[in-house]
């Protein structure tokens, strides 16, 4: 993958992560200020537009990144994608198991099992950017690839578990629109407005069919045509055009609408609630355990190697940062308890606490890892 493309991606996500943090903090302050009723009105009026509409563009960018990575060779060979793919799988399975063990056998709270399986790529890369050039580029690429596969896993979860009352007829209409998109691609049609109209129709048909409409973004990305001339490529034009909007506008808006909750009446007892505890331990313990254990097995079998110039301690620090679920965890948690709004505050509390603890511990481990490397270098020079 071209270095400039990777650098641009990392810069966008890192800066976007800082903005996300600011907006999440603003959401909390707003939800607990004298103007909190305006915050609630904002959520009531725009939550559907943000969560079901604008988040489609987020998933579109994820799909475009995955397709570009495949076309340019990053994910085209198993040896290249094995470590981030299997690490992402472990980072989804173990948190879900921990959550289910804590919430079993309550069928209502068990609905939130998918909440701690996500990694927020913007936040994670934003934290890594704080270390500047001390972080090996290969470790950043590993974390980026893991987060992309993690998002793909989240997409599959949404498709399978959060689509209810599916209409076969309207699903067939969606399939026809998707086939038309692939046909236009095969015919080398490069009209962005035409693809845009069909993309909107695909979103509407999936929504009416009972499938979560954000899936339209990924399906559209798979059909987006590529071209050797990047100026004419629909794939590159869409990704370059949408990525800044997603990083700087859409995701911060999502944080503003979903991260805030009132602290009024909050007691220490709620921290021991099954939903809160399941999410916190899933993100803090499950993520790092899943990523490390699955990666260790793969490396022991010699099917993969640690990222170049990366120590196990640095790798562990990155695994901890995978526990920063934030936006995607909030998104999955909101879907999980869409009909049980009483649990939404617990979801937000669990996600914010788990993500914050994972981030702080990850930073502490990375600081120790770099100080250890520096100490060894000083001894060698002495």
Whole-number pLDDT of residue 2: 55
Question: 275 lies in a domain?
Answer: yes
Q: How many CB atoms lie within 10 A of CB 143?
A: 28
The residue assigned the tokens 């997409």 is: 155
CA angle 365, 17, 48 (to 5 degrees): 130
The CA-based dihedral angle spanning residues 310, 311, 317, 322, taken in that order and rounded to the nearest 10 degrees: 50
Question: 249 lies in a domain?
Answer: yes
Handedness of CA 75, 5, 21, 257 (dihedral sign): negative
Whole-number pLDDT of residue 291: 98
Residue 374's Cβ-count burial label (10 Å; 0-12, 13-18, 19+) is exposed
Question: 196 lies in a domain?
Answer: no
Question: 178 lies in a domain?
Answer: no
Distance, in Å, from the CA atom of 200 to the CA atom of 195, rounded to the nearest integer, reads 9
Q: How many CB atoms lie within 10 A of CB 366?
A: 24
Distance, in Å, from the CA atom of 150 to the CA atom of 91, rounded to the nearest integer, reads 8
Q: Total structural domains in the chain?
A: 1
What CATH number is given to the structural domain containing 123?
A: 1.20.1530.10
Q: Would you say 23 and 252 are in contact if contact means Cβ atoms under 8 Å apart?
A: yes
Whole-number pLDDT of residue 239: 84
- What would you report as the CA-atom Rg of the chain, rounded to the nearest whole angstrom? 21
Whole-number pLDDT of residue 68: 78
Query: Do you find a cis peptide bond into 105, omega within 30 degrees of 0?
Result: yes
pTM for this one? 0.83
Distance, in Å, from the CA atom of 304 to the CA atom of 5, rounded to the nearest integer, reads 24
The CA-based dihedral angle spanning residues 361, 363, 369, 372, taken in that order and rounded to the nearest 10 degrees: -100
Distance, in Å, from the CA atom of 184 to the CA atom of 147, rounded to the nearest integer, reads 30
- Secondary structure (DSSP) of 2-44: -HHHHHHHHHHHHHHHHHHHHHHHHHHHHHTSTTHHHHHHHHH
Whole-number pLDDT of residue 114: 95
Contacts of 65 (CB under 8 A, 6+ apart): 9, 148, 239
Question: 129 lies in a domain?
Answer: yes
Whole-number pLDDT of residue 71: 77
Question: 203 lies in a domain?
Answer: no
Whole-number pLDDT of residue 89: 97
pLDDT in tens, the chain (382 residues): 455 666 666 667 767 888 888 898 999 999 899 988 898 899 889 999 999 999 999 889 888 887 877 777 666 667 678 999 999 999 999 999 999 999 999 999 999 999 999 998 888 888 887 787 788 888 888 898 898 899 889 888 988 888 776 788 998 999 999 999 999 988 888 888 899 999 999 999 999 988 888 889 989 998 888 765 555 577 888 888 888 999 899 989 998 988 888 877 777 788 889 999 999 999 999 999 999 999 999 999 999 999 988 999 999 999 999 999 998 899 999 989 988 878 988 999 999 999 999 999 999 999 999 887 665 555 455 5
What domain range is 335 assigned to? 3-162+212-381
Q: Would you say 252 and 78 are in contact if contact means Cβ atoms under 8 Å apart?
A: no
Question: 107 lies in a domain?
Answer: yes
Question: 179 lies in a domain?
Answer: no
Distance, in Å, from the CA atom of 361 to the CA atom of 317, rounded to the nearest integer, reads 8
Whole-number pLDDT of residue 109: 94
DSSP run (H or E) holding 61: helix 55-71
Whole-number pLDDT of residue 231: 56
């Amino acid at each position: 993958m071209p270095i400039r493309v990777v650098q641009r991606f990392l810069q966008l996500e890192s800066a976007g992560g800082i903005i996300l943090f600011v907006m999440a903090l603003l959401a909390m302050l707003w939800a607990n200020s004298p103007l909190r009723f305006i915050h609630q009105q904002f959520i009531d009026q725009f939550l559907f537009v943000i969560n079901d509409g604008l988040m489609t563009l987020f998933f579109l960018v994820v799909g475009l990144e995955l397709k570009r990575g495949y076309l340019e060779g990053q994910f085209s060979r198993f040896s290249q994608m094995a470590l981030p793919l299997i690490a992402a799988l472990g980072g989804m399975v173990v948190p879900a198991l921990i959550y289910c063990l804590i919430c079993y056998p309550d069928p209502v709270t068990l609905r939130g099992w998918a909440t701690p399986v996500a990694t927020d790529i913007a936040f994670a890369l934003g934290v890594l950017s704080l270390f500047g050039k001390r972080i090996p580029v290969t470790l950043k690429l590993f974390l980026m690839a893991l987060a992309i596969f993690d998002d793909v896993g989240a997409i599959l979860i949404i498709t399978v578990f959060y689509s209810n009352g599916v209409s076969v007829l309207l699903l067939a209409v969606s399939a026809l629109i998707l086939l038309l998109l692939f046909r236009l691609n095969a015919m080398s049609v490069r009209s962005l407005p035409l693809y845009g109209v069909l993309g909107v129709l695909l979103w509407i048909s999936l929504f009416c069919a009972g499938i979560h409409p954000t899936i339209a973004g990924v399906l559209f990305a798979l059909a987006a045509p590529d071209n050797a001339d990047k100026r004419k490529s629909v794939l590159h034009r869409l990704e370059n055009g949408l990525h800044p909007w997603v990083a700087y506008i859409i995701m911060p808006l999502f944080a503003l609408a979903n991260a805030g909750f009132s602290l009024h009446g909050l007691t220490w007892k709620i921290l021991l609630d099954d939903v809160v505890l399941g999410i916190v331990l899933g993100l803090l313990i499950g993520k790092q355990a899943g990523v490390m254990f699955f990666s260790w097995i793969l490396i022991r079998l010699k099917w993969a190697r640690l990222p170049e110039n990366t120590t196990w301690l640095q790798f562990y620090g990155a695994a901890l940062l995978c526990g920063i679920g934030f936006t995607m965890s909030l998104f999955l948690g909101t879907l999980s308890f869409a009909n049980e709004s009483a649990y939404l505050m617990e979801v937000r509390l669990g996600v914010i606490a788990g993500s914050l603890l994972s981030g702080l511990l990850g930073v502490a481990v990375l600081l120790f890892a770099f100080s250890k490397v520096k100490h060894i270098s000083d001894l060698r020079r002495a």
